[in-house]
């Protein structure tokens, strides 16, 4: 105990490497993932641009719509 003994290593059996890799399926999955990331990035950038436009434009688009709804008798919150 407390010495420098190491665990025993048994190398009598060959290493298990698993099944051979299906490269066509791997490339198909990677292409799908890359496409998903690309379009998610495009959507998020468009959303951020729209949010920045709303912030710097004073949000008048939504404010005007809410005022029109209130004036017509439709309440947003009861």
Q: Each residue of 30-60: b (16+ CB within 10 Å) or e?
A: eeeeeeeeeeeeeeeeeeeeeeeeeeeeeee
Angstrom distance (rounded) from CA 44 to CA 50: 10
Note the pLDDT of residue 2.
Answer: 58
Note the pLDDT of residue 72.
Answer: 75
CB 56 within 8 A of CB 48: no
Q: For residue 11, what are the CA distances in angstroms to 5, 8, 39, 78? A: 18, 10, 49, 74
Note the pLDDT of residue 32.
Answer: 98
Encode the chain (78 residues) as per-residue pLDDT tens digits. 556 677 777 667 666 777 788 899 999 999 999 999 999 999 999 999 988 887 887 766 667 777 777 777 666 555
Q: pTM for this structure?
A: 0.53
46 is written with which tokens? 């468009």
Angstrom distance (rounded) from CA 71 to CA 10: 83
Note the pLDDT of residue 21.
Answer: 83
């Amino acid at each position: 105990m407390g010495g420098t003994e190491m665990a025993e290593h048994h190398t009598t059996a060959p290493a298990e490497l698993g099944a051979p890799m299906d490269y066509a399926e791997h490339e198909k999955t990677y292409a799908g993932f890359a496409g998903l990331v690309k379009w998610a990035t495009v959507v998020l950038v468009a959303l951020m641009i729209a949010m920045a436009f709303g912030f710097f434009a004073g949000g008048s688009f939504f404010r005007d719509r809410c005022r029109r709804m209130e004036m017509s008798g439709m309440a947003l919150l009861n």
